[in-house]
């Protein structure tokens, strides 16, 4: 689907459908709307078929050959409008259009009289529409014709007659959505396609696109560096592990951010094997890595004034004659020994080495890691908030604020040291699991042992990275690309802590 921006009314354009985004009880036809469309709109409203409430939608047949359908999408109360509700409405619009027999459609942007600045409005609608149009259908070459409407939605034009928001805002929205779509693609690929080696190829292609530095640290070097936790997880797989390091360094930047993403391309649990049900979903265990790669793609395009390093420990977690076993003791890059009591708690092992390495190597001013770390986080928060653990209130506020801005809600979890007591090892400095309860917290506190005093926030995206039910621009199945826009916003608004 192609998305265009036009500083005009639809005029003489021939469209299969035109959408009006309308706030509650602000139902006047926009100036310049053709007479048959305006009269269809008035009739729909007079018959009380539509009032602009949030989530409402209505299709009207206009009798016009030029634009036979008018689609109304409700935005809700004007005072409650914000960019996220606009993104959701735009995503819903595209979904609605896709279910109809339309190929060419338009969205007439509303005049919201200062509720949301015009640039933000155009950006949000472009972003939401592009994200809402996302599909992963690479492996569906012979779609069932009966399920599909006969036309495919090919083109959507955003009409903004005032031109106040402008083409640049639309391009920004599309760029942001493009990076999220890329992260969704990475996540949705099956584990036989998206191996650690392939993740490294993707990283190199993003680096090339934006002129970023990209280094892939191979197994022999990782062993020399002493990344015993990462190597311990990787040793049960035939796929070689890769530590991916991407660097964005704009001229004159003084501060450095490090973004670290869990890149387990398949998590079987290892010798502590997972049950069979839904094990296929563990191809999504690299969604932290996907978020970091998507963010680096967006950062390369948006060019914020801060250095950003993206670090991804990528490997598979499989059972094998050589695999790490419960009770094995591994030596971390940081020097601490870890007793592996459950080989399925592998994310914290690979991240511990990646965090310690990133902090030593790049001396970042702040670190954020993203990981599908614990099933316990899904139990605690469900699918609509990312869990967070950190060691610095200021950075936590930045991260939760960035989340609110882009609609990716982050919920801090308590980091009391009492929880961490459970991680003291019987035979080694640490063990990799706590007791049965509070697992999202102990998972995060394990990582805290490896970050020292550097401001750090860990984001557990186990609930938000996939398996969310559709809301507007969020897909009904598969990877969501959560984290990409949050990291981008954090970098773009960065000031020293
Ligand atoms: N990748 C999983 C976490 C996960 C599970 C994410 C289900 C999303 C849905 C992680 O590696 C894992 O298996 N964690 C264990 C930790 C436990 C052994 C302490 C878990 O959550 O069960
Ligand atoms: Zn696991
Ligand atoms: Zn895992």
Structural domain boundaries in the chain: 2-141+149-161, 180-492
Helical axes 287-302 vs 167-188, angle rounded to 10°: 160
**Helix H or strand E segment including 205:** helix 196-210
CA of 268 to the centre of ligand 3 (A): 8
Choose one of 345, 431, 441 to mutate for the ligand 1 pocket test, by most ligand atoms within 8 angstroms of C-beta.
Answer: 345
CA–CA dist 303, 175 (Å, integer): 12
204 assigned to active site: no
The answer to whether residues 238 and 361 touch, using CB atoms and an 8 Å cutoff, is no
> Which of the 8 DSSP states describes residue 277?
T
Given this model, what pLDDT does residue 112 score?
A: 80
For 77-135, the DSSP string reads -GGG--HHHHHHHHHHHHHHHHHTT-SEEEEEPP--TTSS-HHHHHHHHHHHHHHHT--
The answer to whether residues 465 and 384 touch, using CB atoms and an 8 Å cutoff, is no
For residue 377 and ligand 1, the question of a CB distance below 6 A is answered with no
Given this model, what pLDDT does residue 203 score?
A: 98
Q: State the Rg of the chain over Cα.
A: 24
CA of 318 to the centre of ligand 3 (A): 11
φ, ψ at 466 (rounded to 5°): -160, 170
CA–CA dist 378, 457 (Å, integer): 18
Q: In angstroms, what CA-CA distances link 36 with 43, 60, 106, 280, 472?
A: 11, 11, 16, 52, 29
Token code pair at residue 295: 């963010």
Q: Per-residue confidence of the chain (497 residues) as pLDDT tens digits?
A: 999 999 999 999 999 999 999 999 899 999 999 999 999 999 999 999 999 999 999 999 999 999 999 999 999 999 999 999 999 999 999 999 999 989 999 999 988 877 899 999 999 999 999 999 999 999 997 666 556 667 899 999 999 999 999 999 999 999 999 999 999 999 999 999 999 999 999 999 999 999 999 999 999 999 999 999 999 999 999 999 999 999 999 999 999 999 999 999 999 999 999 999 999 999 999 999 999 999 999 999 999 999 999 999 999 999 999 999 999 999 999 999 999 999 999 999 999 999 999 999 999 999 999 999 999 999 999 999 999 999 999 999 999 999 999 999 999 999 999 999 999 999 999 999 999 999 999 999 999 999 999 999 999 999 999 999 988 999 999 999 999 999 999 999 999 99
Please enumerate in sequence order all residues whose Cβ is within 8 A of that of 467, keeping only pairs 6 or more positions apart, or say none. 281, 383, 477
For the domain covering 180-492, report its CATH number.
Answer: 3.40.630.10
Taking alpha carbons only, the member of 202, 181, 371 closest to residue 287 is: 371
Given this model, what pLDDT does residue 114 score?
A: 73
In the three-class reduction of DSSP (H, G, I as helix; E, B as strand; rest coil), residue 282 is classed as helix
271: number of Cβ within 10 Å: 19
Residue 197: CA count within 13 A, CB half-sphere: 7
Token code pair at residue 135: 């599909």
Given this model, what pLDDT does residue 151 score?
A: 83
For the domain covering 2-141+149-161, report its CATH number.
Answer: 3.40.220.10
CA–CA dist 261, 368 (Å, integer): 9
274 assigned to active site: yes
Given this model, what pLDDT does residue 314 score?
A: 99
For residue 387 and ligand 1, the question of a CB distance below 6 A is answered with no
Cross-strand pairs, 213: 247
CA of 274 to the centre of ligand 2 (A): 8
The answer to whether residues 440 and 374 touch, using CB atoms and an 8 Å cutoff, is yes
Given the residues 348, 398, 448, 485, select the one marked as catalytic: 348
CA–CA dist 131, 149 (Å, integer): 20
φ, ψ at 431 (rounded to 5°): -120, 160
Please enumerate in sequence order all residues whose Cβ is within 8 A of that of 146, keeping only pairs 6 or more positions apart, or say none. none
CA of 348 to the centre of ligand 2 (A): 9
**Helix H or strand E segment including 179:** helix 167-188
Given this model, what pLDDT does residue 115 score?
A: 83
Given this model, what pLDDT does residue 148 score?
A: 64
Token code pair at residue 209: 């696109």
Choose one of 268, 375, 464 to mutate for the ligand 1 pocket test, by most ligand atoms within 8 angstroms of C-beta.
Answer: 375
CA–CA dist 187, 263 (Å, integer): 10
Which residues have CB atoms below 5 A from the ion given as ligand 3? 264, 267, 285, 347
């Amino acid at each position: 689907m192609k998305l265009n921006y036009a500083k005009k009314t639809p005029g003489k354009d021939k469209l299969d459908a035109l959408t009006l985004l309308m706030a509650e009880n602000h139902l006047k036809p926009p100036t310049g709307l053709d007479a048959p469309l305006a009269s269809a709109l008035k009739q729909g409203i007079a018959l009380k078929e539509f009032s602009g409430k949030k989530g409402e939608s209505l299709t009207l047949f206009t009798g016009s050959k030029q634009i036979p359908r008018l689609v109304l999408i409700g935005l809700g109360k004007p005072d409650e409008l914000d960019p996220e509700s606009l993104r959701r409405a735009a995503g819903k619009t595209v979904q609605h259009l896709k279910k109809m027999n339309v190929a060419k459609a338009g969205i007439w942007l509303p005049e919201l009289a200062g509720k949301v600045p015009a640039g933000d409005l155009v950006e949000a609608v472009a972003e939401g529409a592009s994200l809402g149009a996302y599909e992963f259908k690479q492996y569906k070459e012979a779609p069932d014709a009966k399920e599909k409407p006969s036309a495919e939605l090919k083109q959507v034009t955003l009409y903004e007659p005032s031109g106040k928001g402008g083409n640049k805002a639309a391009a920004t929205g599309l760029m942001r959505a493009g990076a999220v779509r890329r992260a969704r693609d990475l996540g949705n690929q099956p584990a036989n396609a998206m191996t650690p080696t392939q993740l490294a190829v993707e990283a190199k292609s993003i680096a090339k696109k934006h002129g970023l530095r990209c280094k892939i640290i191979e197994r022999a070097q990782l062993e020399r560096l002493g990344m015993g936790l990462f190597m311990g997880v990787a040793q049960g797989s035939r796929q070689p592990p890769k530590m991916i390091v991407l660097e964005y360094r704009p001229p004159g930047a003084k501060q450095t951010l490090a973004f670290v993403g869990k890149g387990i391309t398949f998590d079987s649990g290892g010798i502590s094997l997972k049950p069979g049900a839904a094990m296929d979903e563990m191809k999504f265990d690299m969604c932290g890595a996907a978020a970091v790669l998507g963010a680096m793609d967006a950062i390369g395009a948006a060019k914020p004034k801060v250095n950003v390093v993206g670090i991804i420990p990528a490997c598979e977690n499989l059972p094998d004659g050589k695999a790490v076993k419960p009770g094995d003791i591994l030596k971390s890059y940081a020097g601490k020994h870890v007793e592996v009591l459950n080989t399925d708690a592998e994310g914290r092992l690979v991240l511990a080495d990646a965090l310690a390495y990133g902090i030593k190597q790049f001396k970042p001013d702040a670190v954020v890691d993203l990981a599908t770390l614990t099933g316990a986080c899904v139990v605690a928060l469900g699918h609509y908030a990312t869990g967070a653990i950190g060691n610095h209130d200021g950075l936590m506020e930045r991260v939760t604020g960035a989340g609110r801005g882009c609609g990716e809600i982050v919920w801090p979890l308590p980091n009391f040291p009492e929880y961490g007591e459970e991680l003291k090892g019987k035979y080694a400095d640490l063990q990799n699991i706590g007791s049965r309860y509070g697992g999202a917290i102990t998972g995060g506190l394990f990582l805290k042992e490896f970050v020292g005093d550097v401001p750090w926030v860990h984001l557990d995206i186990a609930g938000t990275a996939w398996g969310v039910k559709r809301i507007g621009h969020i897909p009904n199945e598969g990877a969501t690309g959560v984290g990409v826009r949050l990291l981008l916003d954090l970098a773009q608004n960065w000031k020293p802590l």
